[in-house]
Amino acid sequence: MAGSETINQLQKKITKILGLLFLIRLGLYIPVPNVDLDIFSQNQVANPLFGLAKNLTGSAFLGLGSLGILPYINSSIVIQLLTPVIPALERLQKEEGEYGRQQITRYTRYLTLGWALILSTGVAFVVVKPVVFNWSIVLALKIILSLTVGSMLSMWFAELITNEQLGNGSSMIIFINIVGGIPANLGNLGDSLNNDPNANGVLLIAIAYAIYLVILSLIVLVQNSYKRINIVSARQLSSGQNLDGKELKNSYIPIKLNQGGIMPLVFSTTIATFLFYPLQLALTGGLSLEGNQLTNILTFSSFALNIVLVVFFSSFYALLVLKPKDLSENLTKMAYSVPGLKQGKDTTQYFEQVISRLAFMGGVFLAFLAFFPFVLGKVFQFKLFSNLTSLIILIGVITDVSSQIRGYLVSQNYESFKNS
């Protein structure tokens, strides 16, 4: 009886999550007022500002949910970056418990609103204005209000999904948008094969599947890779046990290779877009270069800037999340230590070195996934691959949701057993 109740509760949770994800997808196709979508779709492809949101929503349609979860993700990362820098935020996180978490969540929401207003204003004046004939301030306000409301609804839905405790709401939204964009990507691949008289369609698709399979295996390997830092207790040290054997097997701290997942890439792409777009306008208007020369300069500049930012934010984000000093202090409080190192400063420095090295390697891997399709397309003169980083999200969400469901079933069965 208890088992059937657990299954029913799980079904209700899954049904609610699927309903919220459906509403989010529906919001992508509710059009923004007074915008000619045919003209817009023909002119927005080369614009990096709209392309940034398009990568996370899986839609080239200018709809209510076009900004999606992007402002919320960036605001969450900014709050995480500011917490160690601003003493008041750090105090809220460490000392205020549930009240502190609620306050930080509130600040994140306020920042999301501000960031959504900035992005929607950019979309209105930079992306939409050049391609509409009846431009007015009233139209701009309608676009800004529509996109901002859509972004805030996405944030709310993400929090509702997270509250169901079957996975992270933001990741699930990105996941469903990636899955929703798969049919369009396959259609574009088919069009490219049909339009290229020199392309051997069957061979290229076979190559695509082979490379995707290799990269998929590599992602699974990297996402599950971690370094074990062995630790020993004061009791083990005082008892004089031989610590070279099995005693250390189950006492360790796992440090993941790719600690930040996709988040450093999302944040670095946002920063790069806002840094690169003024550069693009300046070069376009200020230099008398031929089209190919200008394209090569812009492409190389964007490519280099993104790689540097991805690697930097991967390292910075990992150090921010794991906090070597906190790890060292917690070990000291629990009377544990790393073999061969003194507690305190030496242990902190060791954690910093290990985390920095692993995060750097993780950042290089992210950069490879992000820009490998571009390099391959230049070499073979054929756009066969796109957005391989989405595979990290797909694998991460599937793994996280399955583990959360297993954990929920185990906990419910335990509660039923305890109360019986």
Output the pLDDT for position 386: 54
d(CA 349, CA 244): 23
Output the pLDDT for position 278: 63
Output the pLDDT for position 109: 92
Common-topology check for domains 1-195 and 200-381: yes
The answer to whether 107 and 86 are in contact (CB under 8 A) is: no
Q: What is the 3-state secondary structure (H, E, C) of the chain?
A: CHHHHHHHHHHHHHHHHHHHHHHHHHHCCCECCCCCHHHHHHHCCCCHHHHHHHHHHCCCCCECCCCCCHHHHHHHHHHHHHCCCCHHHHHHHHHCHHHHHHHHHHHHHHHHHHHHHHHHHHHHHHHHHHHCCCCCHHHHHHHHHHHHHHHHHHHHHHHHHHHCCCCCHHHHHHHHHHHHHHHHHHHHHHHHHHHCCCCCHHHHHHHHHHHHHHHHHHHHHHHCCEEEEECEEHHHHHHCCCCCCHHHCCCEEEEECCCCCCHHHHHHHHHHHHHHHHHHHHHHHHCCCCHHHHHHHHHHHHHHHHHHHHHHHHHHHHHHHHCHHHHHHHHHHCCEECCCCCCCHHHHHHHHHHHHHHHHHHHHHHHHHHHHHHHHHHHHCCCCCCCCCHHHHHHHHHHHHHHHHHHHHHHHHHHHHHHC
Output the pLDDT for position 114: 93
Tell me the per-residue pLDDT of 38-94, one tens digit each, with 9 for 90 and over.
555 555 544 555 555 555 444 555 778 778 888 888 888 888 878 878 888 888 887
Tell me the per-residue pLDDT of 87-138, one tens digit each, with 9 for 90 and over.
888 888 877 778 888 888 899 999 999 999 998 888 888 777 776 767 888 8
Output the pLDDT for position 196: 57
Output the pLDDT for position 117: 93
In the predicted structure, residue 399 carries a pLDDT above the cut 70: yes
Residue ranges per structural domain of the chain = 1-195, 200-381
Output the pLDDT for position 288: 46
On average, the pLDDT of the chain sits at 75
d(CA 123, CA 280): 16
> Lowest mean pLDDT: which of 131-145, 318-332, 376-390?
376-390
Q: What is the CB neighbour count within 10 angstroms for residue 50? A: 24
Tell me the per-residue pLDDT of 200-232, one tens digit each, with 9 for 90 and over.
556 666 776 777 788 778 878 887 788 888 888
In the predicted structure, residue 160 carries a pLDDT above the cut 50: yes
Output the pLDDT for position 245: 52
The answer to whether 337 and 243 are in contact (CB under 8 A) is: no
Name residue, tokens 């939409």: 128
Tell me the per-residue pLDDT of 271-317, one tens digit each, with 9 for 90 and over.
766 666 666 665 555 444 454 565 566 666 767 777 788 888 888 87
Output the pLDDT for position 289: 47
pTM over 0.75: no
The residues that bridge with 63 in the sheet, in sequence order, are 31
Report percent pLDDT > 70 for the chain: 67
For 378-391, what is the mean pLDDT? 57
Output the pLDDT for position 318: 82
Q: Does domain 1-195 have CATH number 1.10.3370.10?
A: yes
Tell me which of 201 and 18 has the higher pLDDT.
18
Q: 59-78 in b/e burial notation, b at 16+ Cβ within 10 A?
A: bbbbbbbbbbbbbbbbbbbb
In the predicted structure, residue 383 carries a pLDDT above the cut 70: no
Burial of residue 36, with CB atoms counted within 10 A of its CB: 0-12 exposed, 13-18 middle, 19 or more buried: middle
**If pLDDT is split at 50, 70 and 90, which confidence band does 175 have?**
confident
Q: 141-166 in b/e burial notation, b at 16+ Cβ within 10 A?
A: ebbbebbbebbbbbbebbeebbebeb
Tell me the C-alpha to C-alpha distance, in Å, between residue 332 and each of 236, 325, 342: 15, 11, 10
**If pLDDT is split at 50, 70 and 90, which confidence band does 179 have?**
confident
Specify the length of the chain in residues: 420
Burial of residue 383, with CB atoms counted within 10 A of its CB: 0-12 exposed, 13-18 middle, 19 or more buried: middle
Q: Work out whether the CA dihedral 113, 119, 125, 130 comes out positive or negative.
A: negative
Tell me the C-alpha to C-alpha distance, in Å, between residue 182 and each of 33, 57, 334, 386: 27, 12, 49, 11
Output the pLDDT for position 113: 94
- The CATH superfamily label for domain 200-381 reads SecY subunit domain (1.10.3370.10)
